[in-house]
Structure 1
Amino acid sequence: MTEPDLTRLKDVPPPRDAAKRAALAAAMAAFDDAKKSGSETQGNDAPVRPRDALSRTEGKKPMRLLHTNRALAASVAALMIGAPTAFLVYKHNLAQPAGTFGKVSGNVTGGGLDVVDALPPTPARPSVAEAVDENRGKVAALPQSHFMLPAPAKPATIARQEAKKAERVANFAMSASAPPLAKPKDARAVANGVMMQAPAEHGMAEMLPPPVDQEFRDKFDSKDINPVKQVAQEPVSTFSIDVDTASYAFARRAISSGRLPPKDSVRVEEFINYFPYNYPQPESADIPFKPTITVAPSPWNAHNRLVHVAVQGYALQSAQRPRANLVFLVDVSGSMASEDKLPLVKNALRMLVDELKPEDTVALVTYASGSGVALEPTKISDKGKIIAAIDALGAGGSTAGAQGIQDAYRLAEENFDKGAVNRVILSTDGDFNVGVTDQSELKGVIERKRDKGIFLSILGVGQGNYNDALMQALAQNGNGAAAYVDNLNEARKVLVEEASSTLFPIARDVKIQVEWNPARVSEYRLIGYETRALKREDFNNDKVDAGDVGSGHRVTAIYEITPVGEKKLVDDLRYGKRAAETRIAPESGPADGELGFVKLRYKLPKEDESKLISSPIGDAQAVEKLSATTDDVRFSIAVAAFGQLLKGAPYIGKYSYDDVIALAKGAKGEDPFGYRAELVNLARLARTARP
């Protein structure tokens, strides 16, 4: 058995002591039975060899096979549930000459498991109970790292399941009526859980289930890619802005591990908006947005053009920002124990505490099998108490996330501060599996609290059980952003560099609507924002919720358009209005020279009535060559192409990762934190990553 084979067993949790005893007893009894049977012809110390069973007379063959397979079944069972020495002894004795038994020495895992004199080399065998106790004690004496078996994700539930399997395996191995087992192909089959191929009625078909590939347990919403639309049929495009960045961080983690992210996990707008851009700044918080529009050739389609809409939000000065009244809601269930989960969350929260002002307030609520208040609302001036509460967090139990949300909101309501930003920050690795788990019910709770002025932001961690679909829905309905933190650098970016953007909104319910001029544009498509689409009538309806923008946030939207007269992807309707009939006549005025018209609607944080900003899209904003645009525009277009490649979008032709790399490298500009260089490297890795 190779090192990788045994490493795969690291996620198998130890079962109950009773199950261990049953499996070890089965193993040792099987050894004794096999040895006694072998003594009829080979002596008491003769090892059991499968080849010996096949070389005897026809009458002895079934009995030999039975004893051999019973020993093999029990040994593998003992190995898989936490008794590696039993397997080593059996494996060693198969290979040793007659008359030897006991001494085993060998490096089994990368941790260096060396088992010497696991069983004494004496002819007289101890009783089964004595052998079990002896081996269990020696196994327990070895360092835990040697076995590579970390604490289980959900010990109570999994232990019960594994105990039942162990007892069933032990009963099967000791049963005189058990049928012969199929011969194992190799050691790798043992680790993959497919070695045993016995009839299902004996329970062996499910004895060693194959390990679940963790990457496929993450949950994402599936949305169709935005299609190409005809301006003559549908001239208006409306969507809610999105400042989330979770999709890019999740993709980075996947690509860095050598695999492409699931296509459903890729939201191109979150890739584009992940990066800081130096767009022109608005002058005051009274008009918190300044749109900048650029029209440039499409790098992947010579017939088309890209309309780049950049919206920069006003950055609050330190004296302008309100107080923060925060409730940290932290998942401390058993699955959060690994280093990239709860320890990372604790580091991230400590970073955030360092960014807050002495008059800001923090509370801490935890949830696992249940929920509880770990820290009552405390001023940042008492930072030592807050840090001590964060440091004391530990993982264990199931995931009663909904109960935790309710407790966090209750605490936020009891300590509501009208002059502050009241926000719950949920840090979790995955799904809620206890209590209220219905997504629509959770969204309803969060929407009602949002209307009372308490917002929700998401700080996601980990992989293998991450419910991105739920986290996105909760953040969108809670007027907050959803970030995914895969390392400390990302935690620093989200909670230190962008702390004001994360915590302090400058506008609510921000929507964008673009109307295209059919005299100049025949087709268009919006790149990304599939999960943020709105109806045309939603734009002027202040009751319709949309995205919030924090201090200093910037939002980028990119449209690909087909100018009139260029090759189109969608044919005109034979019996519909012809394109010529829909065009505006030259005498209609200046609108004829416009490609389209952009409108942005928003509410100030303390107001319920929206305001409007609008700007035409014209030839004055157009450039003949992509190279004539700014580094920010070119780099964001490179990111858009990268996201579309990962998403599998069918509209970028032969544009490749190499093209993305070339465009991004030429547009890196100032890159103080290395984010743009990282994108170039990810594109290189994506070329050879497995699907």
Structure 2
Amino acid sequence: MLIKKRVLLITATMFSALLLGACNTSKTTDSSSENRINVEEREAVAGKGQPASEVKLDEGVTASVADAAQPPHRRLKAKKETYASAMATSGVQRSMIASMAGMPGHIRFPSELVDRENYAHLDRNGVKLVSSDPVSTFSIDVDSGSYANIRRMLNEGRLPPQDAVRIEEMINYFSYDYKTPNSRKQPFSVTAEVAPAPWSSEKQLLHIGIKGYEMDRSQLPASNLVFLVDVSGSMFSSNKLPLLKSALKMLSSQLSSRDRISLVVYAGASGVVLEPTAGNQRARITSALDGLQAGGSTNGGAGIRLAYAMAEQAFIKGGINRVILATDGDFNVGTTNFESLIDLVEQKRKSGISLTTLGFGGGNYNDHLMEQLADKGNGNYAYIDTINEARKVLIDEVGSTLMTIAKDVKIQIEFNPEVVSEYRLIGYENRMLKREDFNNDRVDAGEIGAGHSVTALYEITLKGDKGVIDPLRYGSATKTTKASTRELAFLRLRYKQPDADKSQLIEYPLHRRMIKKSITKATSNFRFSAAVAAFGELLRGGAYAEKMDYDAVVKLVRHAKGRDDSGYRGEFLNLVRTAAALDAAHVKLTHPPHHSSGDGIIIE
């Protein structure tokens, strides 16, 4: 009986050590002195014909030398503590564990890991009355991180938190075959389309598309890239640092002798692993990346400062100068205050160096920080959940990711109260601008990369159709003009050339004759973007989804996939089906059928 108990205890200790070691490998410091026995003890153990790393305690039972070196009563106490700590997450033999550790058997242990992911709360855009608020102004957004992060969670078998869903990033994850600009004098083209909204017969959908001019990799100017890599302990798992290294190797393989790469790392402290190196020295770059290992705390602020210093040192006039921050965003030492980090990046962007953020991993992922750092750093934000996503962002879309063709791009729409009674901008909640910001060149806005497509959707209610807001009793009548009977709205865009401080203005009237009577007459661009918007609305709780459900989204996507060479739209269809299944399971768990008693009637 004694042997059995010892077998159980030692087996548990070994399991605990394995489990705790896997969790804490990334945070390990040189604490081996606490567990080390002296040379004489090691030699004495080895002299008995056993491996120096283990010792026999009883027949068929072995343990570590460090354990064996302890007095028996201390060894047993340590085993109980370690065993109870490690097995608390297992859900198996909990009452036995508790009793062996001298704890009450009724204690309930945690059933899942703590989720420390951080997302900014955004109040969704509401419906506006044109009669009182006819102008809508916002900054464009080319980020795609929200969609890839949502995909990660759905593939893990769980619905994303509502704050993780930014509908504009979901829509802009996909490319659309908008007409490309005829010349680079105006860096992007603008298209518009209006058709019935798929979720309501009383509403129309205004679709605005922007397409930047495209550049081959060979046309891109020389690049000065600084890889800023988080090697802290939180980056240990396979979907973090190992995936990150593979992604950066992909990007470095696209560079040439005229390009420069630097590698800066940070954990508790920061340092330069690779000084500015020609892009064709792939063996040296690969060796530097292969040598990265995770461990320690996370001083992101120090790393950002050092990365910008390296970028300034190798600055290429007229070239691409960019810091690429790859991390889970879990900054926990040094400058950790959110606003201080944002201020730091805002100051550094004045040097002409942009910041791209690449997010990795989960559990402690700081989406809020990653998205805002890229926005304030005149860059873009992507989330890398798979090696395929790394290829999409860093190879297929390398021009869009690295090469800015227009900055501080703002959109303003003035709706015609004679034609439109209500409107609602879908997404872009954290990109809203004041009306006066549109003409203020000192107000920062989003950037467009080479080949980028940007899509914005407005849900609008035409005058005479049923709206959601009652009209004002004492509202003043609008003076009718010839233009007001023909125009739906007036579209204005402002942008700056990458090296300019003064913006340029583009204006387009949107005519009433653009309105199509049926959504089936709309382009596949229109219908697919509407399907993505509806899916995002369902993930955010469905307040504006009306009659739309997952099945309706699936049906709409099937007829709107269009050309899908890379398979991203087909993948989206599968994600909608996955979300539908998870949502149905969630409803059953949170709202189980109620079985009444007495008359035998079952109320479902």
* TM-score, normalised by the number of residues in structure 1: 0.73
Contact 1:369-1:399 within 8 A present in 2 as well: yes
Q: CA deviation at 1:73?
A: 12
Equivalent of 1:82 in 10, 14, 17: 17
Q: CA deviation at 1:283?
A: 1.1
Contact 2:441-2:502 within 8 A present in 1 as well: yes
Q: Aligned AA for 2:91? A: R
Q: CA deviation at 1:473?
A: 1.1
Corresponding residue number in structure 1 for 2:222 = 323
Equivalent of 1:572 in 458, 461, 471: 471
Secondary structure of the corresponding residue to residue 257 of structure 2? coil
Q: Aligned AA for 1:82? A: A
Q: Aligned AA for 1:524? A: Y
Corresponding residue number in structure 2 for 1:611 = 504
Contact 2:89-2:111 within 8 A present in 1 as well: no
1:683 aligns with 2:576: yes
Distance 1:203-1:513 versus aligned 2 partners, 3 A rule: farther
Corresponding residue number in structure 1 for 2:362 = 463
Q: Distance in 1 between matches of 2:416 and 2:96?
A: 62
Deviates more, 1:319-328 or 1:249-258: 319-328
1:632 aligns with 2:525: yes
Distance 1:195-1:569 versus aligned 2 partners, 3 A rule: farther
Corresponding residue number in structure 2 for 1:494 = 393
**How do residues 117-156 of structure 1 correspond to structure 2 at under 5 angstroms?**
119-120=58-59, 134-136=62-64
Contact 1:119-1:135 within 8 A present in 2 as well: no
Q: Distance in 2 between matches of 1:350 and 1:290?
A: 34
1:311 aligns with 2:210: yes
Corresponding residue number in structure 2 for 1:170 = 77
**How do residues 555-570 of structure 1 correspond to structure 2 at under 5 angstroms?**
555-570=454-469
Query: Alpha-carbon deviations, 1:458-503, whole Å to 9, x = none?
Result: 0111111110001111100000101000001100000001000000
Corresponding residue number in structure 2 for 1:213 = 113
1:412 aligns with 2:340: no
Q: CA deviation at 1:137?
A: 5.8
Corresponding residue number in structure 1 for 2:42 = none
Q: Aligned AA for 1:591? A: S
Q: Distance in 2 between matches of 1:167 and 1:600?
A: 73
Contact 2:264-2:272 within 8 A present in 1 as well: yes
Q: CA deviation at 1:355?
A: 1.6
Q: Aligned AA for 1:388? A: S
Contact 2:91-2:111 within 8 A present in 1 as well: no
Equivalent of 2:284 in 385, 389, 394: 385
Q: Distance in 1 between matches of 2:105 and 2:323?
A: 47
Q: Aligned AA for 2:503? A: S
1:188 aligns with 2:87: no
Secondary structure of the corresponding residue to residue 457 of structure 1? strand
Contact 1:375-1:389 within 8 A present in 2 as well: yes
Corresponding residue number in structure 2 for 1:668 = 561
1:280 aligns with 2:179: yes
Equivalent of 2:538 in 629, 645, 649: 645
Q: Distance in 1 between matches of 2:465 and 2:445?
A: 35
Contact 1:509-1:602 within 8 A present in 2 as well: yes
Q: Distance in 1 between matches of 2:463 and 2:373?
A: 42
Compute the RMSD of aligned alpha carbons: 3.3
Q: Aligned AA for 2:110? A: P
Q: Aligned AA for 1:639? A: V
Query: Alpha-carbon deviations, 1:428-487, whole Å to 9, x = none?
Result: 123101111111111111111101101110011111111000111110000010100000
Corresponding residue number in structure 1 for 2:192 = 293
Corresponding residue number in structure 2 for 1:474 = 373
Q: Distance in 2 between matches of 1:596 and 1:278?
A: 24
Contact 1:507-1:603 within 8 A present in 2 as well: yes
Query: Alpha-carbon deviations, 1:45-90, whole Å to 9, x = none?
Result: 9x89xxxxxxxxxxxxxxxxxxxxxx99978984774399xxxxxx
How many residues are treated as equivalent by the alignment?
A: 540
Q: CA deviation at 1:390?
A: 1.4
Q: Distance in 2 between matches of 1:221 and 1:195?
A: 39
Query: Alpha-carbon deviations, 1:326-376, whole Å to 9, x = none?
Result: 000011112222221111111111111122232011100011121110100
Corresponding residue number in structure 2 for 1:146 = none
Q: Distance in 2 between matches of 1:433 and 1:550?
A: 32
Contact 2:213-2:450 within 8 A present in 1 as well: yes
Corresponding residue number in structure 2 for 1:595 = 488
Distance 1:306-1:186 versus aligned 2 partners, 3 A rule: closer
Q: Distance in 2 between matches of 1:197 and 1:120?
A: 22
Q: Aligned AA for 2:434? A: K
1:483 aligns with 2:382: yes
Distance 1:564-1:442 versus aligned 2 partners, 3 A rule: same
Distance 1:651-1:363 versus aligned 2 partners, 3 A rule: same
Secondary structure of the corresponding residue to residue 91 of structure 2? helix
1:339 aligns with 2:242: no
Q: Extract unaligned runs of 5+ from structure 1.
A: 1-30, 36-44, 49-70, 85-116, 122-130, 141-165, 175-180
Contact 1:344-1:487 within 8 A present in 2 as well: yes
Distance 1:119-1:283 versus aligned 2 partners, 3 A rule: same
Contact 1:193-1:209 within 8 A present in 2 as well: no
Distance 1:554-1:139 versus aligned 2 partners, 3 A rule: farther
Contact 1:197-1:204 within 8 A present in 2 as well: no
Q: Distance in 1 between matches of 2:302 and 2:499?
A: 30
Q: Distance in 1 between matches of 2:432 and 2:396?
A: 29
Corresponding residue number in structure 2 for 1:402 = 301
**How do residues 220-299 of structure 1 correspond to structure 2 at under 5 angstroms?**
220-299=119-198
Q: Distance in 1 between matches of 2:465 and 2:383?
A: 41
Q: Distance in 2 between matches of 1:417 and 1:668?
A: 41
* TM-score, normalised by the number of residues in structure 2: 0.83
Q: Distance in 1 between matches of 2:141 and 2:97?
A: 46
Distance 1:173-1:429 versus aligned 2 partners, 3 A rule: closer
Secondary structure of the corresponding residue to residue 661 of structure 1? helix
Query: Alpha-carbon deviations, 1:115-137, whole Å to 9, x = none?
Result: xx98418xxxxxxxxx8xx4336
Secondary structure of the corresponding residue to residue 301 of structure 2? helix
Contact 1:83-1:139 within 8 A present in 2 as well: no
Q: Distance in 1 between matches of 2:184 and 2:90?
A: 67
Secondary structure of the corresponding residue to residue 571 of structure 1? coil
Distance 1:287-1:304 versus aligned 2 partners, 3 A rule: same
Q: CA deviation at 1:398?
A: 1.4
Q: Distance in 2 between matches of 1:386 and 1:564?
A: 61
Q: CA deviation at 1:169?
A: 9.7
Secondary structure of the corresponding residue to residue 135 of structure 1? strand
Q: Aligned AA for 1:681? A: N
Secondary structure of the corresponding residue to residue 391 of structure 2? helix
Q: CA deviation at 1:528?
A: 0.5
Corresponding residue number in structure 2 for 1:28 = none
**How do residues 469-548 of structure 1 correspond to structure 2 at under 5 angstroms?**
469-548=368-447
Distance 1:119-1:386 versus aligned 2 partners, 3 A rule: same
Q: Aligned AA for 1:331? A: D
Secondary structure of the corresponding residue to residue 539 of structure 1? helix
1:655 aligns with 2:548: yes
The share of aligned pairs that are identical, in percent, is 47
Q: CA deviation at 1:294?
A: 0.3
Q: Aligned AA for 1:604? A: Q
Contact 1:193-1:210 within 8 A present in 2 as well: no
Contact 1:275-1:675 within 8 A present in 2 as well: yes
